[in-house]
Structure 1
């Protein structure tokens, strides 16, 4: 999620995966995939950076969880699986 600010000062969070586009007209307008539009005080560059950082955090957290799952102490032993033809 990224936190953005309405022109009147209220703050709210947006899921960057639902953002279709961001444009400046001259206000910054976020358009979601369902057509919902929000006018916010952040600049286009600030939003691009925030969305990039949010995705990087998701990838980083997923990588950390994957590394925890494959730690040597919890790793399952490998086994050879043979097809019926190979077993003969």
Structure 2
């Protein structure tokens, strides 16, 4: 889970596993797997860092790296 801010400054928590894509249009827009779009204050680069840290915390990044090594 990552903490983000809506455009009005209100903080909310988002399950990072539900994110399909992030765009800067110029506002940062997050598209979820279900098609819902969220516009947030956080810059795209910060969100990517938060997602990476979350993946490391739950061990998902290591699993992906190991799977990549096995498939090569």
User: Shorter chain as normaliser: what TM range?
Assistant: 0.7 to 0.9
Q: Which runs of 4+ in 1 moved over 3 A?
A: none
Aligned residue pairs, count = 60
More strand by share: 2
Task: Decide which structure has greater helix share.
Answer: 2
Work out which structure has the larger RCO, using CA pairs closer than 8 Å and 6 or more positions apart in sequence. 2
- RMSD over aligned Cα, in angstroms? 1.2
Gaps of 5+ in 1: 61-88
Note the C-alpha offset of 1:59.
1.0
Q: What TM-score, normalized by structure 2, do the two folds share?
A: 0.80
Please, what TM-score do these two structures have when normalized by structure 1?
0.66
Q: Equivalent residue of 1:39, what SS?
A: strand
The match for 2:54 is 54
Q: What runs of 5+ residues in structure 2 fail to find an aligned partner? A: 61-72
Are 1:44 and 2:44 an aligned pair? yes
